[in-house]
Structure 1
Amino acid sequence: MTREATAARAPARRNGRGAGRRAGRRARNRVGPVVGVLVVALVASCAVAVALGTADISPADVAATAWSHLFGTEPTLSATRDAIVWELRAPRVLTAAAVGGGLAVCGAVMQSLTRNPLADPYLLGLSSGASTGAVVVLVLGVAVALPLAAFAGAFLALVGTLALARASGALSSTGVILGGLAVSAVASALTSLVIFWSATGDSYREILGWLLGRVAGADWTDAAVAAAAVLVCGLPLLVSARLLDGFALGDLSAAALGIPVERLRFALFACTALLTGALVAVSGAIGFVGLILPHAVRALVGTRHRAVLPVAFLAGAIFLVWADTAARTLFAPRELPVGILTALIGGPVFAIILMRRRRAA
């Protein structure tokens, strides 16, 4: 290359780097306002979602009922309407918020660790493992043990995936993906075998509803489990946000920056898997939330995980609250499993995101 050509290209490179830095600053400046708006939107969404339904209840009644239960004041609603708000709708809406936010965070972390835009929280075979555990107890008629069995199935799937990935050498992204596919195939086959061999009548309907994903019937125990899982497993992921940025550069570059790549990948995979397992145990397998929301969030606030993870949590929580509300109200008196609605919404949205990314590239 001639000296003149090199000199001519230098300003273009500087301009490109300057444009990238300016875009990064603009994305960082948007994070605070975006988080504030999403927090307000989440609180308002929960209040409105609890109010919506066949019983005529206003958001003000919802706020008054919550105040009376939290601070021990005299309830303002009748006993029936108070039970509708506090015992039926409120735990369901809060469970949906925790599950949606947790799955979105898991999706963002998985896509970063594997550098695969199609990665989602169920990549490690967790959904299939949890489904096997849940189906076994439902067929046996021990529905009370469903959350524990689903979590145990997800944990065993994680152990199998990581063992297969480790058997091929260092714990690499490719090895984890292939191990997850193998475990998922085996667990799905076992689930199908149990359903074909034993499920009949009501148990078949209950199994199908769980496999499609639902938060119907969630109580305060389910809400507490989901919230505790998000808190216990989500905080380590948020603390590791700067380290997750290093994985975007590739393993060699991350190691050159002093990041213990293999140990950190194992810890983050395990943390993400435990969070996913706990959420799946509560809600069943709800797809597309962890796949779509991280892409939309990165388009809004950039790729830095200190911004992506909290915004993804809030966006995922709002999305699943409204998806479950729509599944509960649009088809009344029938109720659609929310996993069907997220797939119906998620498929076209993901196609649009892919087309935009291709156009931008």
Structure 2
Amino acid sequence: MNGTAAVSARILGVTAATLTLLLAALVFGAAVGETRIPFETVARTVANRLWDAGYALDPIDAGIVWNYRLSRAVVAAACGAALAVSGVVLQSLLRNALADPYLLGISAGASSGAVSVAILGFGGGMLSLSAGALLGAVVAFGFVAALAVLAGRGPVAIILAGIAGSQLFNALTSLIVTKSANAEQARGIMFWLLGNLSGVRWPDVWLAVPIAAGGLVVCLLHARALDAFAFGPDAAASLGVPVRRVRVVLIGATALMTAVMVSIVGSIGFVGLVIPHAARLVVGVRHGALLPASALIGALFMIGADVLSRTVIPGQVLPIGVMTALVGAPAFALILIRRPVTR
């Protein structure tokens, strides 16, 4: 009983520390920007909105916090967590250290869907840019999945099918932009393709957070199966893991998380590639700890990148994908130097 109590206390302590870190990051993301807002104002704004606390606040500051920055920070956290968890799962299932969520062609398909709506008018005005991106991501994943099944269902087939799908839909995107877009449309699409949180509002929160949380739970339920996949699919099968079912469930979960996040914020690189490796340096390779650690680090990383994108150049907001690449590429290089790839 003492051992059980100690384990329970440790889990509660880790959970409390995680929630505290995440809450602090969200407050930081809501307070820091071109206009600095005190942390106390952020807390009071949230209290007024959630519990009708009645604090007297400047309506402009309260509006910036609630209607712009806080929703943006929450979606950034959900996006970072979802992409990081997806990267962990795909790197384990495919036994490839370079696997990331966009390996399945989802980002390329989302781009094609977005430009089809924005430039070609697909949907007759009834589809938003995000809806078009989500539809394109689903179509691209369906194409990659079908190609992988026809090619043999194995990890190599999935990787090659993903590469083929990405190239195809990237080519379609380039063709549409080159042939049909004017200069203003091309600039807007380019900004979206590099990742953009400027248009995020609370309705996006109610989609992003449940998807990220649900995807994390599904992956955690298969943590032991992912541990077994470290020794290869044959070894996992010999340990009683239903290899095909686990692959379908987990790849489906990562595809759904990635498709939804890309449809909301655009394509944001390096998160799903770098964060899993960074988390392994901190907590090791056991997926019971690796998955939640990656989710937390991914959320914190995205909130930090979003703050930098709004503050690094006064008066201008950079695409968040630029910041994740500028930070992620050197970080990944350091990880490679400290922990060389041996396979």
Is TM-score (shorter-chain normalized) higher than 0.5?
yes
Distance 1:110 1:33 in 2: 29
| C-alpha separation in 1, matches of 2:83 and 2:44 | 31
Match of 2:202 in 1: 220
Structure 1 spans left out of the alignment, 5+ residues: 1-28
Q: CA contact under 8 A between 1:31 and 1:307: conserved in structure 2?
A: no
Aligned-pair CA distance for 1:79: 1.8
Deviation at 1:350, TM superposition (A): 0.8
What is the rounded CA distance, in whole Å, between the counterparts of 1:156 and 1:274 in structure 2? 12
Displacement after TM superposition at 1:31 (Å): 8.1
Structure 2 counterpart SS, 1:358: coil
1:109 aligns with 2:89: yes
Distance in 1, Cα, partners of 2:286 & 2:102: 23
- What is the alpha-carbon distance in structure 2 between the residues aligned to residue 74 and residue 34 of structure 1? 33
> Which residue is 1:321 aligned to?
303
The aligned residue for residue 250 of structure 2 is 268
Which residue identity is paired with 1:84?
I
Q: Which amino acid aligns with 1:87?
A: N
Pair 1:317–1:143, CA change in 2 (3 A): farther
Moved more, 227-236 or 153-162: 227-236
User: CA separation in 2, counterparts of 1:114 and 1:36?
Assistant: 33
Question: Alignment partner of 1:123: what SS?
Answer: helix
- Indicate the larger mover: 49-58 or 349-358: 49-58
Deviations 1:65-88 (A, max 9, x none): 001100123242122221111101
Alpha-carbon distance, 1:233 to partner:
2.4
- State the distance in 2 between where 1:356 and 1:292 align: 14
Which of these residues, 157, 163, 174, is aligned with residue 192 of structure 1? 174
Does 1:86 pair with 2:38? no
Q: Which residue of the partner structure matches residue 246 of structure 1?
A: 228
Answer yes or no: is 1:95 the counterpart of 2:78: no
> SS of the counterpart of 1:176?
helix
Contact kept? 1:238, 1:306, Cα under 8 Å: yes
2:146 matches 1:163: yes
CA distance in 2: counterparts of 1:76 and 1:57, whole angstroms: 15
Deviation sequence 1:317-344 (CA, Å, 0-9, x none): 0000010101101112011101011111
**Given that residues 123 and 181 in structure 1 are in contact (C-alpha distance below 8 angstroms), is that contact kept between their aligned partners in structure 2?**
yes
- Closer/same/farther in 2, CA of residues 213 and 359 from structure 1, 3 Å limit: closer
Give the drift of 1:360: 9.3
Alpha-carbon distance in 2 for matches of 1:135, 1:91 = 25
Normalised to the residue count of structure 1, the TM-score between the two structures is: 0.88
Letter in 2 for 1:190: L
2:197–2:265 contact (8 Å) kept in structure 1: yes
SS in 1 for 2:289: helix
CA deviation after TM superposition for structure 1 residue 30, in Å: 9.2
Structure 2: gaps spanning 5 or more residues: 1-8
Aligned 8 A contact 2:109 2:139 in 1? yes
The answer to whether the 8 Å contact 1:49/1:321 transfers is yes
Identical-residue share of aligned pairs (%): 43
TM-score with structure 2 length normalisation? Answer: 0.92
Could you tell me how far 1:32 is from its partner in structure 2? 7.3
Match of 2:100 in 1: 120
Q: Which amino acid aligns with 1:316?
A: G
Match of 2:111 among 110, 128, 131: 131
Decide which structure has the larger Cα Rg and report it: 1
**Residues 34 and 311 in structure 1, CA contact (< 8 A), matched pair in contact too:** no
The answer (yes or no) to whether the contact 1:301–1:307 under 8 Å persists in 2 is yes
Match of 1:279, as an amino acid? M
Inter-partner Cα distance in structure 2 for 1:227 and 1:90: 13
Partner Cα separation in structure 1 for residue 29 and residue 256 of structure 2: 28
Tell me if the contact between 1:109 and 1:272 (Cα under 8 Å) persists in the aligned partners. Answer: yes
Distance 1:194 1:359 in 2: 39
- 52, 56, 61: which is aligned to 2:41? 61
Q: Distance in 2 between matches of 1:122 and 1:36?
A: 32
Q: Which residue of 2 aligns with 1:280?
A: 262
1:146 to partner: Cα distance = 1.4
Contact 1:95 1:222 (C-alpha < 8 Å) held by counterparts? yes
RMSD value over aligned CA atoms? 2.0
Deviations 1:300-358 (A, max 9, x none): 11111110011111110000001010110111201110101111111111111111112
Between the aligned partners of 1:143 and 1:294, the Cα distance in structure 2 is 38
Alignment match of 1:294 (pick from 265, 276, 293): 276
Separation in 2, partners of 1:229, 1:82: 28
